[in-house]
Chains A and B, each alone.
Chain A
Amino acid sequence: MDLNFTAEEQLFREEVRGFLRAKLPVAISRKVLGGKRLEKGDFVRWQQLLNERGWGAVAWPEAFGGTGWNAVQQHIFDEECADAGAPLQLPFGLKMVAPVIMAFGNPAQQQRFLPRIIDGSDWWCQGYSEPGAGSDLASLTMRAVREGDHYVVNGQKTWNTLGQYADWIFCLVRTSTEGRPQTGISFLLIDMKTPGITVRPIIMLDGEHEINEVWFEDVRVPVENLIGEENKGWTYAKFLLGHERTGIAGVGRSKRELKKLKDIARKETANGRPLIEDQRFRDRIAQVELELMALEITNLRVISAEGEKKRAPGPEASILKIKGSEIQQMLTELQMQALGHYALPYLENALDAGWQGDAGMPDYADYAASLAGHYFNFRKTTIYGGSNEIQKNIISQMILGL
């Protein structure tokens, strides 16, 4: 039993830190740390920089251009990237479709798609949920009918994240209505430029355009874009969801946000004293820090067990998802609450980088402007990736056998 990182791991951490200091553009990290809006170019630029260093896909095996790092190294990398204010590497290509292509795609698909994911050429998005198929994903109805060398796709996907930038979408489609709903699903890769696809924004409660609905009308998809076998898509989908939960604890990011919360609580005042000296508020910070300390160790326990068994996380990843999302929500809520009524102004432009403040607005507005919006936005975390209630079902069934 040893909670310390080895000397080698410490050296590795220094190496990551050195890279971040040298290569992470300040213009980007300032946006991330300040809670500003990120643009497509920011994500792509960061992916390119990582790729140039050979770190484009830290979780991939070396055979596909990954780093081959173990779970602890990946954890250290995540933690340092979060702390430095690097943009999140979006999971849709790297962590979701890529493992499926590696495990179930054919060599031609692997050669065609994987290099363009790792170098940032292709932006991927996800076509899973439908208006009538959320938690009950297997009830999805978007049809793909085989016509010669093509599938003709008709239907609608929703809760599609950042699809407005996407080059490709991976979709679960219904290819059969025979038998159990799970047995008639296929996994299809679709070029977003194909005629018949319409992307319509869904504006979220914070006023931002992060998600979309995507309509498919007689969209012709070459059969070579089918992953694996027809009607076996549910197997691949479940495999993907297992990978989606890796890193879902978000420990590195939450540690950074806890630091920010403490900074805000030191800067804001109550009764002429720093807010952090208010015991009632400080105890709430302390409580979320306890939760995060426990999660950090639970996360390390899970990933070191994974490392030993060389496998994707099992149902215990649901524990990480539940606690991780709850903690992220607590942090955004406390950051907002630390501002008191100064969190009220809705200043849309304040989320743009380089905003200098409106005449007459107090100087806190620069960091204050994003906090209520983040609180609202982060209500999504207990809903997406399998809602926390679905995660509890998974724990009940897979761990407890109920």
Chain B
Amino acid sequence: MDFNYTEEQLALQDTLRRFIAKDYGFEHRRALAKSADGFDRSAWKTFADFGILALPFPEDFGGISEHGGNAVDTMLVMEMLGRGLALEPYVSTVVLCGGLIRDAGSAAQKKALLPAIAGGELMLALAHFEPGARYELDHVATTATAAGSGWRLDGAKAVVLGGPSADKLIVSARAGKGLSLFLVDAKASGVTLRAYPTQDGARAADVKLAGVKVGADALLGTAGAALPVIERALDYANAALCAEAVGIMSALNEVTLEYLKTRKQFGVPIGKFQALQHRMADMVIATEQARSMATLAAVRVDSRDAAERSRSVAAAKAYVTQSARLVGQQAVQLHGGMGVVDELNVAHYFKRLTMIGLTFGDADYHLGKFSDALLVA
């Protein structure tokens, strides 16, 4: 039993904390959200220099350690990115697509793609969820049909996070019975992106695939056997989102506490009022409990037992989402009118927390998943 970070982890955390404080301030972030790319390409290069774009990869493919970093490394990175409300598509490129290539890719694919991700030269997005699928992972209508030595892809994908900046998409499609994954160039003929900003200032796209031709080497992993690989990647992504949410909640508690101590009404700081103190105490409790669950997710997501892994991540995502809702809503409430304006970071933290709660399964979805596992246990 050890709840401490290693020296290396603490050093990385410190580096990121200083970067966010110095080079990723709130005004900078606000401007980025309105820019064409919607994120900071120079920050992405900095992330490459820090080594965090290679975090989950083995050393041979540009990673920083022999077997690749673990999910606890990812947790502390995500917590810091959360504090900075970083807009860069880290989860899409590194956690999701990087994880899929690491887990399912051939040696040649890994060699070609992972070092490019690590170096910040290649961005990817997972085009998996579809209109009407909601959060169900095996609801895929996009088809892959054999065409010559390769494949032909047809279908539609919804809310592809990080889609507009992606050089390559990883597309899930049904070839016969099971699901398969394909690496598709974002500029390939037949691929159409409708790009848009998301509520939290990031970027996503709806993607149409009309007769998209890819070669045999585009297949990622075994044809028809992608579902468990996708499940694992999304568990990693959800564990990462839990950590991001905890970072945001901590930051939100800090700014809210500061506000309670400085904002005066009736001649005293509003933090003197018990009704407000108890809301703040509730936020602190919710954040500590959420931190515990995010830690559980980070530790268990590396488990070899898929049922154990999924059950723990579902538990964490459900609980963290519930906590995030409480903390976000109360932070806005405690800021009064200042909580509902665009000018302050509070609303932006709140919006990101809310969108995390809707991404890759909401609280009800994950509670249901955890609850249904009680029938098996």
Contact = CB atoms under 8 A, between A and B. Distances in A.
Interface of A: 1-6, 9, 72, 262, 276-277, 279, 282-283, 285-287, 289-291, 293-298, 300-301, 304-305, 316, 319, 322-323, 389, 392-393, 395-396, 399-402
The 8 A-B pairs at the shortest CB distance, nearest first, are namely: A297-B292, A286-B371, A396-B277, A392-B281, A294-B289, A395-B281, A402-B271, A2-B2
Interface string B339-377: 000000000000000000000000000011011101100
Contacts of A279: 368, 371
Interface in B250-291: 257, 260-261, 271-272, 274, 277-278, 280-282, 284-285, 288-291
A304 B3 contact: yes
Interface in B2-34: 2-5
Nearest to A297: B292
Contacts, number: 120
B203 to A, nearest CB: 32
Nearest to A293: B315
Given A290-B315, A294-B293, A300 B1 contact: yes
B326 to A, nearest CB: 13
Given A1-B2, A304-B2, A286 B374 contact: yes
B205 interface: no
A296 to B, nearest CB: 8
A399 B284 contact: yes
A9 B1 contact: yes
A72 B1 CA distance: 8
Given A279-B371, A294-B292, A400-B280, 9 more contacts: A3-B300, A9-B1, A287-B367, A289-B315, A290-B318, A293-B293, A298-B292, A395-B281, A396-B271
Interface of B: 1-5, 72, 257, 260-261, 271-272, 274, 277-278, 280-282, 284-285, 288-293, 295-296, 298-300, 315, 318-319, 367-368, 370-372, 374-375
Contacts of B261: 401-402
B277 A294 contact: no
Given A286-B370, A396-B278, A400-B257, A6 B1 contact: yes
B201 to A, nearest CB: 29
Chain B interface secondary structure, helix, strand, loop or mixed? helix
8 contacts: A1-B298, A276-B374, A294-B289, A294-B293, A296-B292, A298-B289, A316-B288, A395-B284
Contacts of A1: 2-5, 72, 295, 298-299
Nearest to A401: B261
A323 B3 contact: no
Nearest to A394: B281
Contacts of A316: 288
Contacts of B367: 283, 286-287, 290
B157 to A, nearest CB: 30
Contacts of B281: 392, 395-396, 400
Contact of A298 (B288, B371, B372): B288
Nearest to A322: B285
B287 to A, nearest CB: 10
Contacts of B284: 319, 395, 399-400
Contacts of B368: 279, 283
Q: Which of B277, B300, B367 has the most CB of A within 10 A?
A: B277
A283 B278 contact: no
A337 to B, nearest CB: 16
B3 A392 contact: no
B2 A282 contact: no
Contacts of B296: 3, 293-294, 297
A285 B3 contact: no
A1 B285 CA distance: 21
B298 A301 contact: no
A323 B285 contact: yes
A277 B376 CA distance: 11
B245 to A, nearest CB: 14
Contacts of A301: 3, 292
A2 B278 CA distance: 33
Nearest to B318: A290
A293 B318 CA distance: 12
A282 B375 CA distance: 9
A277 B372 CA distance: 9
B182 to A, nearest CB: 36
Contacts of A389: 278
Given A399-B284, A400-B280, A2 B293 contact: no
B84 to A, nearest CB: 22
Contact of B299 (A2, A6, A262): A2
A305 B291 CA distance: 15
A283 B315 CA distance: 12
B3 A402 contact: no
Contacts of A396: 271, 274, 277-278, 280-281
